[in-house]
Structure 1
Amino acid sequence: MALFTRSVLVSLFGGIVLGLFLLNDFSFVDTFYATFTLFFTLLSQAWILKTLGFALLVGSIVILIENSGGIGGFIHFVQKKHSIITSARASLLLAYFIGILIFVESSITSLIAGTVSRPLTDSHGVSRAKLAFVCDSTSAPVCSLLAINGWGALLLGLISTQILAGVLVGESIDILLKSIAYNFYAMSALVVTFLVIWFNIDIGPMKNAVVINDPTRQYGFGKIGHMVYPIILMVVLVFLFLYITGDGNILKGSGSSSIFYTMIVTTLFSILYYKLDGVMSIKRGLFLSFEGIKKMIPIATILLFAFAIGNVTDELKTGLYLASFASNILSVHYLALIIFVLSSIMSFSTGTSWGTFSIMTPIAIPMAVAMGADIPLVIGAVISGGVFGDHCSPISDTTIISAMASECDVVEHVKTQLPYALISGLVASVMFVIFSYM
């Protein structure tokens, strides 16, 4: 529905209601009550409220940076003063390398890459759909490869649980590092994205992606620091809050709390910084912040609905069914491939790679042990599938935030990105079969 009607909210709500209708034995009254209860429960959970708060505050920071003249100063610095970004390729490579260097949290990565690069890609005639593709294709893949973040913490915990249960033998960190070496989808996605940028490859819907050329939109000329300092602070604060919420261990920190606190502090810092530098008054800064929040309300609503439908598919036991179905028809040589495909379907359906890891890891590891398969290879298949499905899903938070940061329609982003993601997924599939035989 989302792809064909272009109405994400209506489509998500339809999926939620249909799932609850099945769960409540086709009772309209019970379904109505269950729908109300589901949203009430979701809005009672701190991590969901913090994630929604993050999405809203993104609008505040973006609009503050724009009105400070920081983006105009950055464009002048890299394009005119030093002639660093002088082509469409260079503007996309900027987004690509930002996505690789800022690997602490996928949402922050997409936000910064899109916000910084969008004015430059616009000025060089690059479609925002292509920028959204680059932001999305670097954020989650890099975070899943360089797991010095919440991704690594989750995976370590899931592997450690299997060791404590006696299913696995060894050190969890060693197993995780070996598994990351088999994260074929993330690797192929990064290579494909670079090749697409370097050779300007447009396939499928990307050929017809709209190029925004708005001559009325002018970025005020200001200091480059008005953009750079808030962004640097944002990156530093994420690490700091991960350290604080993890009681001294970054890997154990809370991602939702860290990005929420980061956005609050960065917003307040930006308003005070611009006041002290004579750019805008406190009153003007607060007004702009609320304007930015208002613009992000539709995005936050989509995120809330995405969390809801993920909850419904979990209640329906979709993942457990797929895994049990596959276990009856598997050959050890195709175990990694099937785990990759199942994880992809689950992640696409729920819009969450982390949820997929949590469901599939306890299923895939015992299956691999029982069948004598290579454990790190199978875990790598779970990671790859989780990232692949999440990458393609119109209800994924990274998909939504990448589109938001690039100011691209969510459905257009999904349609234009899908062919490239499928190519990377095909490469990963072949690699899993080859390494299973090896």
Structure 2
Amino acid sequence: MTYGALALIPPLVVIVLAIALRASFEALLLGCIVGFIIIGYHDHTNFFSDFIATFYKVMKDDSTVWVILVCGLYGSLIGLMVKSGGAMKFGEDALKYIKTKRAALFGTWFLGLFIFLDDYLSALTVGITMKKITDHFKVSREYLAYIVNTTAAPWCVIVPLSTWTVFIGSILEKCNFAALGQGNHVYLSVIPYVTYGWVSVFMIPLVIMGLVPMIGRMQKAEALSLNNVVALPTDTEEINIQASGFGNGKKASSMYFIIPIAITLICTFLMNYDALKGIMIGVAFTFVYYLIIKLGTFQQLSETIFSGFNSMVYALALVVMSYILKDVGDKMGLTSYVINGVKPYISKELLPAIIFLSITLITYTTGSSWGVYAVVIPIVIPLAHTLGANVLISVGAVVSTGVVGSNACLYSDTTILTSQSTDISNLKHSFSQLPYALIAFAISTIIYIVMGYTIA
């Protein structure tokens, strides 16, 4: 059953309250409660019972368990690397070669491009690694977070192999758009049309070189940073494991950082891009590696694994609440409401642009990307066939919408993890980078219009 325009109220409540309260979790919680009150009134059910039932449903979902384990274990790995002093030493060594602010910013961009297998790993690792370097050159945390976030999901969808491309490829197989086992191969043909990914990633060098100017809150943050005023987190907890070593007097080495990251990337690749298996092996390897070289005792390493996992609890709470909000949207028929609302305006030429504009509304207000892909791609493929539109461009437009949600939504998982790794409020991060996301969004919309009229 759909609720019409009422389906827009919960996400709008979240956005308005997040701005007014300058708090994310509380805004998400209240937005979900408002949604359940509307559902309860409409369906004559108890909103509190509905909320609890949905909470249980979300927590039992395989994807929720996967995210909790992956993010938590990434926290454990980062905790070990930070505690060992390896992450800090890597930054210190990099400073020997990075002599300017511009070089530090390009270094952040290049590292984000290098860690392409998974957006979570990229968002956490790049922020933790480059924070010391960019602080040295008085780069604001807002600026750092913008680069870190924009080389996470936007890059993962335009490299040939990543956790994102594997997931989307599996959907293409389920839709019979690709033969069994050929989903990733078919997705290669979609990559050129994932416009938002291309535009946002390659807009970063233009911003670094000053060809795209500092705008709004980013400009203010950079001015404050030049005066040694660094933004500190206000509604999130930083990854507060100190790089103090394990008290054994061993000198820190960059290898304590490079080797665990390399093993994690290699194992994720060998495990068919399964980020959970990759990070499990990465944490286990790092534990044994540090133990063998006597970097820390068994107890010290175990405690660091748990403290690293614990540092992700607040971020995970936000992710879980965003999943509940998505479920509220599903119950209220948000996706079908938006799609049905734009159907009268659809032509084969405008289909990619209309898909991009309308579905972005869903991904931005719910912070959901993969869930939207699972629902919308099976609808868009036959719709494009029926209208005679280019199916690859249409699928690329859907993929772009998910990237906008991940990149721009103030409570998306990647935004939250980026804020976690760069020690900045996700509200400050989201609002300061929003103008750049909007520029990339506007350019992408124009490109989809041009593609719709010029590519058969």
| TM exceeding 0.5 | yes
The TM-score with structure 2 as length reference comes to: 0.84
Farther-moved stretch of structure 1 (385-394 vs 198-207): 198-207
Which of 180, 195, 198 does residue 209 from structure 2 map onto?
198
Are 1:222 and 2:252 matched, yes or no? yes
In the alignment, which residue of structure 2 is the partner of 1:176? 187
Can you list the C-alpha shifts for 1:192-225, whole angstroms capped at 9, x where unaligned? 11211233842111122264669xx877761111
| Matched residue SS, 2:424 | coil
User: In 2, Cα distance between the equivalents of 1:152 and 1:275?
Assistant: 36
Q: Per the alignment, do residues 56 and 205 of structure 1 end up closer, same or farther by CA in structure 2, a change over 3 Å counting?
A: same
Shift of 1:87: 2.0
Counterparts of 1:214-363 in structure 2, within 5 Å, are 222-241=252-271, 243=272, 250=273, 258-363=274-379
Counterparts of 1:18-417 in structure 2, within 5 Å, are 18-25=34-41, 30-79=46-95, 83-163=96-176, 176-199=187-210, 201-209=213-221, 211=225, 222-241=252-271, 243=272, 250=273, 258-417=274-433
User: In 2, Cα distance between the equivalents of 1:185 and 1:140?
Assistant: 11
User: In 2, Cα distance between the equivalents of 1:274 and 1:231?
Assistant: 14
Are 1:433 and 2:446 matched, yes or no? no
Shift of 1:305: 0.7
Can you list the C-alpha shifts for 1:253-309, whole angstroms capped at 9, x where unaligned? xxxxx3334334333333332333233222222223333333322111111111111
Whether the 8 Å CA contact 1:96–1:135 is kept in 2: the answer is: yes
Q: Per the alignment, do residues 265 and 150 of structure 1 end up closer, same or farther by CA in structure 2, a change over 3 Å counting?
A: closer
| Matched residue SS, 2:151 | helix
User: In 2, Cα distance between the equivalents of 1:219 and 1:90?
Assistant: 28
Farther-moved stretch of structure 1 (350-359 vs 137-146): 350-359
Q: Per the alignment, do residues 27 and 160 of structure 1 end up closer, same or farther by CA in structure 2, a change over 3 Å counting?
A: closer
| Matched residue SS, 1:328 | helix
Whether the 8 Å CA contact 1:99–1:138 is kept in 2: the answer is: yes
Whether the 8 Å CA contact 2:267–2:278 is kept in 1: the answer is: yes
| Matched residue SS, 1:239 | helix
Counterpart code for 1:345: L
Shift of 1:108: 1.3
Q: Per the alignment, do residues 172 and 230 of structure 1 end up closer, same or farther by CA in structure 2, a change over 3 Å counting?
A: closer
Are 1:420 and 2:436 matched, yes or no? yes
Shift of 1:29: 6.3
| Matched residue SS, 2:46 | helix
Q: Per the alignment, do residues 413 and 304 of structure 1 end up closer, same or farther by CA in structure 2, a change over 3 Å counting?
A: same
User: In 2, Cα distance between the equivalents of 1:28 and 1:122?
Assistant: 55
Structure 1 residue runs without a partner (length 5+): 244-249, 251-257
User: In 2, Cα distance between the equivalents of 1:48 and 1:154?
Assistant: 15
Q: Per the alignment, do residues 162 and 62 of structure 1 end up closer, same or farther by CA in structure 2, a change over 3 Å counting?
A: closer
Farther-moved stretch of structure 1 (137-146 vs 274-283): 274-283
Shift of 1:341: 0.6
Q: Per the alignment, do residues 259 and 174 of structure 1 end up closer, same or farther by CA in structure 2, a change over 3 Å counting?
A: closer
Shift of 1:431: 0.6
Whether the 8 Å CA contact 1:57–1:293 is kept in 2: the answer is: yes
Whether the 8 Å CA contact 2:36–2:328 is kept in 1: the answer is: yes
Q: Per the alignment, do residues 153 and 232 of structure 1 end up closer, same or farther by CA in structure 2, a change over 3 Å counting?
A: closer
Whether the 8 Å CA contact 1:71–1:219 is kept in 2: the answer is: no
Can you list the C-alpha shifts for 1:400-423, whole angstroms capped at 9, x where unaligned? 111112222111111111110000
Q: Per the alignment, do residues 276 and 159 of structure 1 end up closer, same or farther by CA in structure 2, a change over 3 Å counting?
A: closer
User: In 2, Cα distance between the equivalents of 1:141 and 1:66?
Assistant: 26
| Matched residue SS, 1:333 | coil
Can you list the C-alpha shifts for 1:224-258, whole angstroms capped at 9, x where unaligned? 111111111121122233x3xxxxxx5xxxxxxx3
User: In 2, Cα distance between the equivalents of 1:156 and 1:119?
Assistant: 37
RMSD of aligned alpha carbons: 2.5
| Matched residue SS, 1:304 | helix
**Equivalent residues, number:** 415
User: In 2, Cα distance between the equivalents of 1:175 and 1:285?
Assistant: 43
User: In 1, Cα distance between the equivalents of 2:381 and 2:99?
Assistant: 49
Shift of 1:2: 1.6
User: In 2, Cα distance between the equivalents of 1:8 and 1:137?
Assistant: 20
User: In 2, Cα distance between the equivalents of 1:29 and 1:331?
Assistant: 41
| Matched residue SS, 1:229 | helix
User: In 2, Cα distance between the equivalents of 1:65 and 1:426?
Assistant: 40
Whether the 8 Å CA contact 2:360–2:402 is kept in 1: the answer is: yes
Q: Per the alignment, do residues 164 and 176 of structure 1 end up closer, same or farther by CA in structure 2, a change over 3 Å counting?
A: closer
Whether the 8 Å CA contact 1:327–1:367 is kept in 2: the answer is: no
User: In 2, Cα distance between the equivalents of 1:289 and 1:172?
Assistant: 36
Farther-moved stretch of structure 1 (272-281 vs 137-146): 272-281
User: In 2, Cα distance between the equivalents of 1:409 and 1:106?
Assistant: 19
Whether the 8 Å CA contact 1:175–1:376 is kept in 2: the answer is: no
Q: Per the alignment, do residues 218 and 287 of structure 1 end up closer, same or farther by CA in structure 2, a change over 3 Å counting?
A: closer
Identity of aligned residues (%): 24
| Matched residue SS, 1:125 | coil
Shift of 1:338: 0.7
Whether the 8 Å CA contact 2:25–2:318 is kept in 1: the answer is: yes
